[in-house]
Structure 1
Amino acid sequence: MIKIKNLTKKFGNTPILDSIDLTVNRGDRIALIGPNGAGKTTLIRTILGQYMFNGELAVFDKNPRHDRVEILDRIGYVPQLPPPIQMNVAELVKFSAGISRKSSVDAIYQKAAELGLDIGKNVKKPFQKLSGGMKQKLLIALALGRQPDILIMDEPAANLDPQGRQAFLLQLIRSMEKTTMLLSSHRVDEIINLINRIVEMDYGRVVQDERIDQSRFADKMLACRVTLTKNHETAIRMLEDWGFKSVNGGPEFEGSFIGAERLRFLTSISHYANHIQKLNIS
């Protein structure tokens, strides 16, 4: 679906992408990882046809500079930072649905609702006036509503709260069979349960390209019960952010999360290990 050979991109005399070779096949779910300045965002923008380049690059067997409109109709894209869109929410939804053959206003509304965003209550708000999390949810809904063949996301969950992240990951899990994914992230552990391949970049080069087995727990809902040693305010706030509820008003809490988020949950709750009496996940 994407074929790259000896791809080089310079800004001035500085090489940002340096002789990259990469092939993305149908069904690949790639974590594109690496430190700041590794070239991840530049590679994504080049694939999307935003930059001139040297070397060979084909998306759906077409040149993204020459056939950009046709290519972008088959791609869903969520940028790292929300763009300065000068429309209100209703105008943006209508515009996005109108330029995609597979999208519709109803589909975007549904995807947004599944992410916890009620578009109907925000239709008149300027996009720029939305909170960071609301912008991110709307951009994700616009991308998923297109039913893309390739989904490209640059740090897509950066502004989402725990419950929003879980809804977002569940959306990706539901799309896995039909959609090829390229997910850029600083940390592979955040998306490890969604992917089947890791591509690591550094100094504009691909330094690792490895296939991995997908976790069998990724799309499963896991029930969890946590008993605190006492009503620790900060620990309780963390659990409530994850949607947990107190059992009978005591220090015992119940909740659930999808398997794709279990590592993140365990990392979050480990900060309060001294205040946990019992932890059960099933």
Structure 2
Amino acid sequence: MSAAQPLVTLATGPGVEFDQVSLTLGQTPILDHVSFTIRPGSVHALVGPNGGGKSSLIKTLLGQMPHQGRLCLNWPGATGPIGYVPQALEFDRGLPMTVDDFMAAMCQRRPAFLGLSRKVAPAIGEALARVGMQDKRKRRMGALSGGERQRVLLAQGLIPAPQLLVLDEPMSALDEAGARVFERLLTDWQQAGVTVVWIEHDLAAVKRLAERVTGLNRRVLFDGPPGQTLSPERLLDLFATHPTGNGSNNV
């Protein structure tokens, strides 16, 4: 899959519109009049420096942060499931929590200590198989490598099948095999018309896999196809502590 040859599919996920979205925590401005649009069923990447507001923006999208301005989800039909895959999982590695226990806790209403419910067990098995973790279901989460834990996080993001999926640096801990798993999932989501909002620091992966990219350093520095926007000059401006641009640069 490449940004130059997007797959033509019927979008099931929503379009997302950020219109002059601002966020201030205490006296610190986090987002400054952020405006851009995510197309329905597209893979849209967010790039920028640490502290530039990327995670805050997706927390705003998920309804976890107060904000000023307008944020609108435009669903093509009925409102569907929203999935979220965090950058990392913080937990006590000494806990006797297996992969199945974690999936049960995240994906079902039945208490995890009662085991997998028959209703979700097939979906959990399928999700773990898709990320290559089916044979490690009885392993303790604390005994897994960072890349294996990231695969489990990707698996929980598949249940229920999302129509809007938010990914916070999902490739950060993945090895080469895990990266290939992620790329297959990304292709599957695109073919299914899922809207994917993807924070990523690997600019080569963004250029290869995303359909559109927004550069964010408290405000939008650029927004457009990766092949046209990820130029050395724009990236230098983006990752500067104080961006020199005077607003968004749409392509």
The alignment's TM-score, normalised by the length of structure 1, stands at 0.63
Q: Which residues of structure 1 form unaligned runs of 5+?
A: 62-69, 214-282
Structure 1 pair 194–108 and aligned structure 2 pair: CA distance change class (3 A) = farther
Q: How many residues align?
A: 198
Q: Which residues of structure 2 form unaligned runs of 5+?
A: 1-14, 110-118, 228-251
Q: Which residue of 2 aligns with 1:94?
A: 104
The separation in 1 between residues aligned to 2:74 and 2:155, in whole angstroms, is 23
The separation in 1 between residues aligned to 2:26 and 2:61, in whole angstroms, is 20
Deviation at 1:191, TM superposition (A): 3.0
Q: Which residue of 2 aligns with 1:206?
A: 220
Structure 1 pair 193–145 and aligned structure 2 pair: CA distance change class (3 A) = farther
Q: Which residue of 1 aligns with 2:53?
A: 39
SS in 1 for 2:91: coil
Amino acid at match of 2:86: P
The separation in 1 between residues aligned to 2:136 and 2:88, in whole angstroms, is 23
The separation in 2 between residues aligned to 1:95 and 1:60, in whole angstroms, is 30
The separation in 2 between residues aligned to 1:163 and 1:124, in whole angstroms, is 19
SS in 2 for 1:186: coil
Q: CA RMSD in A?
A: 2.5
The higher relative CO (CA closer than 8 Å, separation ≥ 6) is in 2
SS in 2 for 1:167: helix
Q: Which residue of 1 aligns with 2:70?
A: 56
Indicate conservation of the 8 Å contact 1:96/1:142, yes or no: yes
Deviation at 1:200, TM superposition (A): 0.6
Indicate conservation of the 8 Å contact 2:31/2:53, yes or no: yes
Indicate conservation of the 8 Å contact 1:93/1:105, yes or no: no
The separation in 2 between residues aligned to 1:60 and 1:130, in whole angstroms, is 39
The structure with the larger Rg is 1
Matched, 1:117 2:170: no
Q: Which residue of 2 aligns with 1:192?
A: 207
Q: Which residue of 2 aligns with 1:158?
A: 172
The separation in 1 between residues aligned to 2:223 and 2:21, in whole angstroms, is 16
Indicate conservation of the 8 Å contact 1:88/1:123, yes or no: yes
Q: Which residue of 2 aligns with 1:13?
A: 27
Indicate conservation of the 8 Å contact 2:20/2:34, yes or no: yes
Structure 1 pair 193–84 and aligned structure 2 pair: CA distance change class (3 A) = same
Matched, 1:81 2:88: yes
SS in 1 for 2:103: helix
Q: Which residue of 1 aligns with 2:194?
A: 179
Matched, 1:3 2:17: yes
The alignment's TM-score, normalised by the length of structure 2, stands at 0.70
